[in-house]
Structure 1
Amino acid sequence: MLVTRKLPIGIQTFENIRTANYLYVDKTALVWRIANTGKPYFFSRPRRFGKSLLLSTFEAYFSGRKDLFEGLAIEGMEKEWNVHPVFHLDLNAEKYDRPEGLYSILDRYLKMWEARWGKDEGETTPSGRFFEVIRRAYEQSGREVVVLIDEYDKPLLQALGRDDALLANYRDSLKAFYGVLKSADRYLRFVFLTGVTKFSQISVFSDLNQLNDISMDYNYATLCGITLEELKENFQPEITQLAAINGVTTNDILTKMTALYDGYHFHPRGEGMFNPFSVLNTFYKQEFGSYWFQTGTPTFLVELLKKSDYDLRELLDGVEAPASSFTEYRVNADNPIPLIFQSGYLTIKDYNKEFQTYTLAFPNDEVKYGFIDFLVPFYTSLAEEERGFYIGKFVQELRVGNVDAFMKRLRAFFADFPYELNTRTERHYQVVFYLVFKLMGQFTEAEVRSARGRADAVVKTPKYIYVFEFKLDGSAEQALQQIDDKGYLLPYAVDGRELVKVGVDFNAAERNIGNWIY
């Protein structure tokens, strides 16, 4: 029987979800705890992770909409359901390519609030109008005001790295506007700001240093996203149906979904979180896909990586970062890792308490292979359709043992480099090898190493295990000899598959593969 429950894809309004009978994963116990144990909060999560729905839930709660919470955890926790004035500012709905864009959206919201609570014509600046409308709402209602700001950093992120003058304009405007939340504290019941990252160097928060940043708090690590238990408890009909369509067990579906969409950690000891956008789309479309990654491309992050000359091989294998770099993001081209983490492309995999360092890596296969595939055109001239063709052929050729065809295709891959890339350093070509073998890992077990004392790459297919060694300005014979001398085949001696060693020389003058022996 076809499961037709309503899944809230793109639905960010709590009232709509509840009144239109969309499926809702109950987070209201955490909502109540946050609302009743503190006042000014900041909370960062990657895009499409449920931040807007969270703010809409707070809005319904502080508007006293008890009817919307029937049957949810908060119903047994809240006794009063007081009604407060709620100012909900959503900075998503604007293209911030000029100073007027920010002023326009602030003015639009201020006019809406002033239509309800009144305005003094002598108030002209956005910050002045914001303070006074908060004060009037407090005095007229007799209750403290709630301020909810969604994607507070959207204007800054759009200008960052593209237009320094525009960034400075936004910084000064938002610094003054958000600073009101400190000066108007006596009129406020609750303040909650969300965004992707927390800026320090551009000083938006310098006048708002009282915010409690709960982004990496253990107690709220599961506030946005879906845990494995929540997945099994709330989506059992969809899991069963997806298993039937694919002719596998429900455990197989959970294993596949875990590999693709799980793995986000917002605290070293926090539960792994599934990406809610990809989960919902998988159940709705009844097939697996890169749903989250396709909703936004990390172009700016890749440009930041290129400017920093960061060794991508370290990023792709997991990177260490000090805890201090995540308390506040400082705009630093030499260290793009914190912004890549806060944007959702890396997540916490381990924490060294003694040295206070995080180990960061891709959360799951959707992000890992999506990010690697996105990197390829920045290092080669291949178009998107060609990339998939090349990688597929690479895998097929090694599966049948056709080393010559694989190496010829790899040589053609390098021959397609645009001219301007031919001045790149040795590291550039090592990174390209790295990307090729990492992308092959989607379809067959492939490892690529940058550490000394290990083979450059190992590829495992059902019949073969290939060990590759590349020599820059050396001979293929020397590469092959190194495989023997260093014992690179020994770990696979009892595997049972046929072992194939491949020695390759890379000609720096021609900037391409020279000879190979296997």
Structure 2
Amino acid sequence: MALQKYPIGIQTFEKIRTGNYLYIDKTQFIQYMMEEGLNYVFLSRPRRFGKSLFTSTLKAYFEGRRELFKGLALDKWEKDWIKHPVLHFDLSTAKHNTKEELMAELSMKLAGYEEIYGKESIEITLNQRLAGIIKRAYEKSRQRVVVLIDEYDAPLLDVSHNDDNLEQMRLLMRNFYSPLKTCDPYLHFVYITGITKFSQLSIFSELNNLANIGSTERYAAICGITQDELEMQMSEHIDYFAQCTGDTRENVLSELKRHYDGYHFTWPSPDIYNPFSLMNSFWAQKYESYWFASGTPTYLIRMLRKYNAQPSELVDKTVGSRSFDAPIEMGTNYLPLLYQSGYLTIKDGDRKFDEYTLGIPNQEVRIGLMNALLPYYLQLSGNDITDITLELSNLLRKEDIDGALRVLQKFLATVPYCDNANSEGHWQQVMYIIFSLIGARLDVEVRTATGRVDMVLYGKGKIYLFELRLYQGARAAIGQIDRKGYSERFALDSRPVVKVGFTFDHERRTLKEWCIE
């Protein structure tokens, strides 16, 4: 079967369209922008979600390259194909820089356009040079200029946890972007992308007409792949995946959905698949964690530690939009960064009352995020726990909870010393991470009419109530479950309830004993 190639790592529209690569048509969103008369546009989406490819698509459109759009939605709508001068700045090359290095990087980018449009001797600062380029590009072409800024926040994210460094970088970038306001008469269209939101006041000085399309329903599917796009534009690829793996089409779709679907960047919204992971899965014909394998940003882990984020808190959290859809430098918790970076997403919402439920999008993100957090609780890496998770998964499928606890006891006894090990909360989070890594459904601090159950594990055939004790025996933990009547909370569930009391040995730092009823 002759299928189009998968554009893994390719972010150039021209290369995809001329190289027989699979392209999911997103050009209708350019039509929407033009119909609405948008001139200044901002889009935030997680890394590797197609922001750069869409920016490249805009570049080709404004350069009047109609031949690249043959057969696409935009070609049926656009009639004029006017060629504009386009200034395209990719700030992803400015990561991990000092202030001086960032200035040199920006200077080099400007120098490339100065070779085309010239430079006046009085233009010294970065903003003066950018303003001069815009004006001369307009004068030379007699067409207003298009400015595309991709990954605008790349220089800022790695210092987002450090207020002093962030302020220096923020002021530098605000100065660089200032001509986007003063050169308005010469500008036709400005498009800015990033992972996160920094406040317009702090970065885009006085640019108060910036349309944030990322949180609007009409542009919900501008990046990523919807279920309809998957089944209609990739139908042959699904069948080929099933054929090569000896599986059914229905099972392939189910596994792809479980691993890579579930993103919502506004509400309501269609389900959005991670395009990077989806394309890699089709290419490799395996369900693996491709997005996380491409790198977990260090700024994410730093911010989670800064705000002391607990893994169990990242599930089904109901908050108002200001708590998560806000500039990250104005945030008081980890929610804005986790949401905007794609580690949490909207699961449900009520716009009328401004209430939204956030949760982890899918299996890939859950496993990757727990692996990233694991070293904070135990001094080991995700690779160190692979064997134990496989063994635990097999035992839980058999509903052998005693065997699973024996495996955990043996494993935890081999883990090096770590801080905070003398608290029940620490071990509660350790258990949550380990069970989450095997895909188990586990909740902590589950409310009942008379108290809170430490942990609830939902198996296929049974519900397990875990009560943890650090200094008392396992029988005392069972007594707590009975005394508080925790089992009554699950009386309407057809599955039988199993009570599990266990205690930790705070000296050996492992499970000491347990009791199952």
Give the stretch that moved more between structures: 26-35 or 408-417.
Answer: 408-417
Give the stretch that moved more between structures: 141-150 or 108-117.
Answer: 108-117
Alignment correspondent of 1:281: 280
After superposition, where does 1:169-184 map in structure 2 within 5 Å? 169-184=168-183
Alignment correspondent of 2:240: 241
Deviation at 1:277? 0.7
Distance 1:405 1:16, change over 3 A: same
> Does the 8 Å CA contact 1:201/1:330 hold for their aligned counterparts?
no
Alignment correspondent of 1:380: 378
SS at match of 2:445: coil
Deviation at 1:95? 4.0
Alignment correspondent of 2:12: 13
Give the fraction of aligned pairs with identical amino acids, expressed as a percent: 41
After superposition, where does 1:8-407 map in structure 2 within 5 Å? 8-36=7-35, 37-161=37-161, 164-200=163-199, 203-315=202-314, 317-331=315-329, 334-399=332-397, 403-407=401-405
Give the stretch that moved more between structures: 206-215 or 457-466.
Answer: 457-466
SS at match of 2:231: helix
Distance 1:80 1:103, change over 3 A: same
Alignment correspondent of 2:447: 452
Deviation at 1:78? 0.8
Question: Would you say how many aligned residue pairs link Structure 1 and Structure 2?
Answer: 511
Deviation at 1:250? 0.9
Give the stretch that moved more between structures: 375-384 or 256-265.
Answer: 375-384
| Paired letter, 1:339 | L
Deviation at 1:103? 1.8
Distance 1:334 1:512, change over 3 A: farther
Output the CA distance in 2 between the equivalents of 1:178 and 1:129. 11
After superposition, where does 1:363-512 map in structure 2 within 5 Å? 363-399=361-397, 403-422=401-420, 425-440=423-438, 442=439, 445-453=440-448, 455-459=453-457, 466-485=464-483, 486=485, 488=487, 491=490, 500-507=498-505, 512=510
Deviation at 1:327? 4.8
SS at match of 1:115: helix
Output the CA distance in 2 between the equivalents of 1:360 and 1:494. 25
Distance 1:135 1:462, change over 3 A: closer
After TM superposition, the score normalised by the length of structure 2 is 0.91
Output the CA distance in 2 between the equivalents of 1:491 and 1:238. 43
> Does the 8 Å CA contact 1:172/1:204 hold for their aligned counterparts?
yes
Give the stretch that moved more between structures: 395-404 or 488-497.
Answer: 488-497
> Does the 8 Å CA contact 2:260/2:363 hold for their aligned counterparts?
yes
SS at match of 1:448: strand
| Paired letter, 1:8 | P
Output the CA distance in 1 between the equivalents of 2:328 and 2:6. 38
Distance 1:462 1:451, change over 3 A: closer
| Paired letter, 1:112 | G
Give the stretch that moved more between structures: 382-391 or 239-248.
Answer: 382-391
> Does the 8 Å CA contact 1:377/1:383 hold for their aligned counterparts?
yes
Deviation at 1:459? 4.3
Question: 1:214-251 deviations in whole A, cap 9, x for unaligned?
Answer: 11011100111111011011111110011122222212
Question: 1:328-375 deviations in whole A, cap 9, x for unaligned?
Answer: 314267401101100011111122334313211111111112111221
Deviation at 1:126? 0.9
Output the CA distance in 1 between the equivalents of 2:501 and 2:32. 61
Output the CA distance in 2 between the equivalents of 1:327 and 1:479. 41
Question: 1:148-178 deviations in whole A, cap 9, x for unaligned?
Answer: 000001000122225x554333211110111
Output the CA distance in 1 between the equivalents of 2:47 and 2:338. 12
> Does the 8 Å CA contact 1:398/1:406 hold for their aligned counterparts?
yes
Output the CA distance in 2 between the equivalents of 1:401 and 1:292. 31
SS at match of 1:33: helix
Question: 1:445-494 deviations in whole A, cap 9, x for unaligned?
Answer: 54233123364444466776644322343331122234445252884898
Output the CA distance in 1 between the equivalents of 2:139 and 2:500. 78
Output the CA distance in 2 between the equivalents of 1:258 and 1:212. 31
Output the CA distance in 2 between the equivalents of 1:381 and 1:158. 24
Deviation at 1:399? 4.6
Output the CA distance in 2 between the equivalents of 1:212 and 1:493. 48
Deviation at 1:49? 0.6
Deviation at 1:58? 0.7
Output the CA distance in 1 between the equivalents of 2:196 and 2:420. 36
Question: 1:7-54 deviations in whole A, cap 9, x for unaligned?
Answer: 211111111111122121111111122134210111100000111111
Distance 1:213 1:469, change over 3 A: same
Output the CA distance in 2 between the equivalents of 1:142 and 1:322. 47
SS at match of 1:119: coil
Deviation at 1:379? 0.6
| Paired letter, 1:233 | M
> Does the 8 Å CA contact 1:480/1:502 hold for their aligned counterparts?
yes
Distance 1:72 1:426, change over 3 A: same
Distance 1:54 1:516, change over 3 A: same
Distance 1:100 1:383, change over 3 A: same
> Does the 8 Å CA contact 1:438/1:448 hold for their aligned counterparts?
no
Output the CA distance in 2 between the equivalents of 1:434 and 1:193. 39
SS at match of 1:192: strand
> Does the 8 Å CA contact 1:437/1:457 hold for their aligned counterparts?
no
Output the CA distance in 2 between the equivalents of 1:32 and 1:331. 33
Distance 1:375 1:92, change over 3 A: same
| Paired letter, 1:154 | A
Distance 1:399 1:106, change over 3 A: closer
Distance 1:331 1:425, change over 3 A: farther
Distance 1:269 1:425, change over 3 A: same
Output the CA distance in 1 between the equivalents of 2:322 and 2:493. 46
SS at match of 2:175: helix
Output the CA distance in 1 between the equivalents of 2:387 and 2:329. 38
| Paired letter, 1:98 | T
Give the stretch that moved more between structures: 169-178 or 454-463.
Answer: 454-463
> Does the 8 Å CA contact 2:446/2:455 hold for their aligned counterparts?
no
Q: Name structure 1 gaps, 5 residues minimum.
A: none
RMSD: 2.6
Distance 1:249 1:325, change over 3 A: same
SS at match of 1:324: helix
Output the CA distance in 2 between the equivalents of 1:114 and 1:32. 31
SS at match of 1:215: helix
